[in-house]
Structures are given as C-alpha cells and as structure tokens.
Amino acid sequence: MPKINAERLLADQRRLAQFGKYKTGVHRPTFSPQDMEARQWLVAQLTAAGLDAAIDGIGNILGRPRKPGPRLLIGSHSESQNHAGWLDGALGVVYGLEIARAFAEDATCADFPVEVAAFADEEGHFGNFLGSRSFIGDLAEEEIDRSRDHTEGVALRVALERAGLAGRRREQIVPADYIGYLEAHIEQGDYLDRAGLHLGIVTGIVGIWQYRIVFAGEQNHAGTTRMAARKDAGVALVKLCNAIAARFAEITGPRSVWTTGFIRLEPGAPSIVPGGAEMQFQIRDVEVAQLQRFEDALKELVAEADVAGPCRIALESAWKVSPVLMSAPFQEALTQAADHWSPGGAMAMPSAAGHDAQILARKIPAAMLFVPSINGVSHHWTEDTKEEDIALGCQVLADAAESIFRRARG
C-alpha cells in the first residue's frame, strides 16, 4: 500500500504557493511570469520524481512515467484566478506529484505507471478549459488565434510567445494508453465544512446553461419623458429578474443555482432613460431535467414579459455545458479508500463547479475527490483547507489509485 509523505506534500504545496504569493493566497494568472515559474518548478519536481516532464505548446505539463502498460493520469491545474486561493487546482497537481513519488517508493506499486498532469488555463483567463481541451483534441488553432486574456486583453498567441511556448507541439491523448483520470480539488462550496466532513466523492459535474437576455426599449430624456410614456429597458430587466427569482424558487432542485452575473444599461447615463439593457444569466444543475425545467420557465417568463411590453425582450442561449457523470468504479474505489482512512468522514456529492475532469471524461473514465473549503470560500485569497484534510485527501486518492490499477490489471 503506497504511503504518502504528508510533510513532503505540505512543504511542496507551500513552496508552490510562493509563486505569485498574494496575502495568504496567490495571484498566478495563466502564462504570467509567476505562473511560468511555477510550471518550471513543477517540471523539476516531476523530473526528480523519475518522470519525463515537459510543458507543451498550450502550457500543459505532462509528467510521463517510463514504465510500460496503461497509465493512470492524476492531476488538475496550477494557475489561479486573480488574487485567489493557494490550493484550488494546485492541490490536485501536487497530489499527483506526491502519489507518483509514493508509488515509486512502494515495492508493491513501483511498476504502476502514474502520469501527472497540470492542465493550463482551467480558470479560463483566455478561454474555456484550454489545456484539457487541447489534450483531448478539442482546441482548434483558430480558437487560439482569436483568444484574449479577459483581464488585460492580451492575445493568447502573444502570451504563448512571451511564455516561451510558441511553436511547441501540443500533446494529445491516446485514450487506449490510459486507465483513466483522477482529479482532486478543494470543494469550493461549504457542504463538507458545514457537515463537519473531510472528503467529497464527486458523483458528477453540473451542467451549466448560460443565457444572454436583451431588452429593447426607447432611449429618452430622463426629465421630459413621462413615466407612462417610457419604454425603459432597465425597468423591464429589473422586473424580469424579480419574476425569475420568484418562479425559480418554486421549481428549484435541491442543489440548483442560478446567477445574474452581469447587467448593463444602454447608454448608462444618469439623465437618460435606458433604451437598451442586457443581462447574462446562468443556471447550473447536475440533472438535465432540472436544467430543462428552468429553461422552460425562463422562456415562458421572457415571452410573457415580451408580450406585455412596453419593451421587447429576447432570450439567447449563449452556451451549454452538459452535466457529466463520474466513473462509477472509480467512485467506488474512492469511497472504499475514504471509508478506510476516515470512516463516516466522506459524502457523495455533485460538483457545482466545472473541472478538467469533465473534459477528460469525454475520452477516458474520470473521477474526482474533494477536500473541504473552510467556510466554503473559493476564488479568493482567504481560501483555505486544514492541513490534516490536505494530507488525508492525498492518501485516499493514492489508495484509490492503487485499487484502480489492481482492478485494471485483473
């Protein structure tokens, strides 16, 4: 049974958090100098662990074992959101590194080929799961050509050039070479922390359906236009938001969420009745039926408001990510390992956030393990997880990896 070294694991987590350190968190946007230094450091650690490690043309790190046979891929992503937490995806990458070392150090597992991945830009500074999509062959050169960093508008091509990655080959998965993919991550919500639990076995990753709702009214003078004569697009938007809030609360599933993340009024001046308005609206659920229930209600509310007037309202589907189920045998392996190391300390749960595992799951069996986020804080520099939970999670993932290998070898 591979035994992880908790001290070494925590030391590496702490060391990685020095790259782009920001207060008690990190600021390590994709392809920033601090992100590239972190990647170089990871390559060195993976190499020291006996893996053939390199950064590919989209910034993915793959640490490849020199051992024969189907490989188990373990990892996550190492860049961070702006001014965000020290663990997040970095946790899962260092877990991969530590598990590769623990396997190499254990005579009964030393020939199990563990491969470690740190996918680039899971956080979406430039796009949408660029690294893992590149790895499964779902990222065209044209998308790279037109992508830009959302914070500063730097073209992805320029960022790749500056990071020294221009012209490098992008590695692509050969599914038959892999048993599957395991990813650990902080929960990012507070279900585990509130329940006093230590581990989350992810059943599936939520689907995200994203909409743009556009309101067309009539721009007018905010003094001379009588209230009754107005076609105020902002007023129409606010009314619809309220109708959604009331209706969605009635039909919600147990873990459904919906969010208006962006609102804009046109022209957005104090003395002008807004002639146009726009909102971005998102729903998430692990059940397609629930997403459909929400969408049907949304269409109904928009149609009612559009007919009622005085503004015209149009609902556009911006993009849809389908819910993804995690591999049942992998979940079983994780559950057994969790029961062993923390009896009663784990729960099965969906992931309400997107992860590289949902991309990998399109090609190979995939599963995820969560450790608690203290107070559920995520994407903020105060994000944290107890050291004992960090160590526990790594050991459970190592055990699950071992049993997955043994099952694959019959």
* Residue 361 CB, nearest approach to a second copy (Å): 17
Q: What is the CA radius of gyration of the chain?
A: 23
| Whole-angstrom distance, CA of residue 98 vs CA of residue 285 | 33
| Minimum CB distance to a second copy smaller for 188 or for 290 | 188
| Minimum CB distance to a second copy smaller for 45 or for 351 | 351
- Contact residues toward a second copy (CB under 8 A) are 187-191, 206, 208, 210, 219-227, 229, 232, 234-235, 238-239, 241-242, 245, 252, 255-265, 268-274, 280, 282, 284, 318, 351-354, 373, 376-380
User: Would you state the structure tokens that stand for residue 375, as one six-digit string?
Assistant: 């107070």
Residues 246/298, Cβ–Cβ less than 8 Å: no
* Residue 358 CB, nearest approach to a second copy (Å): 12
| Minimum CB distance to a second copy smaller for 210 or for 292 | 210
Q: Could you tell me which residues are beta bridge partners of residue 25? A: 22
DSSP string across 248-290: HHHH--TT-EEEEEEEEEES--TTEE-SEEEEEEEEEES-HHH
| Minimum CB distance to a second copy smaller for 162 or for 264 | 264
| Minimum CB distance to a second copy smaller for 220 or for 292 | 220
* Residue 92 CB, nearest approach to a second copy (Å): 16
* Residue 197 CB, nearest approach to a second copy (Å): 15
| Minimum CB distance to a second copy smaller for 10 or for 241 | 241
* Residue 261 CB, nearest approach to a second copy (Å): 5
| Minimum CB distance to a second copy smaller for 157 or for 320 | 320
Of the chain, the end-to-end C-alpha distance in Å amounts to 17
| Whole-angstrom distance, CA of residue 164 vs CA of residue 32 | 11
Contacts of 10 (CB under 8 A, 6+ apart): 387, 390, 391
Contacts of 259 (CB under 8 A, 6+ apart): 281, 282
* Residue 135 CB, nearest approach to a second copy (Å): 22
* Residue 64 CB, nearest approach to a second copy (Å): 32
CB-count exposure of residue 31 (10 Å: 0-12, 13-18, 19+): buried
| Minimum CB distance to a second copy smaller for 25 or for 65 | 25
| Whole-angstrom distance, CA of residue 21 vs CA of residue 19 | 5
Residues 65/115, Cβ–Cβ less than 8 Å: yes
* Residue 205 CB, nearest approach to a second copy (Å): 9
Maximum C-alpha span of the chain: 84
* Residue 226 CB, nearest approach to a second copy (Å): 7
| Residue 125, helix vs strand vs coil | coil
| Minimum CB distance to a second copy smaller for 190 or for 306 | 190
Contacts of 373 (CB under 8 A, 6+ apart): 186, 187, 188, 189, 190, 192, 193, 383, 384, 385
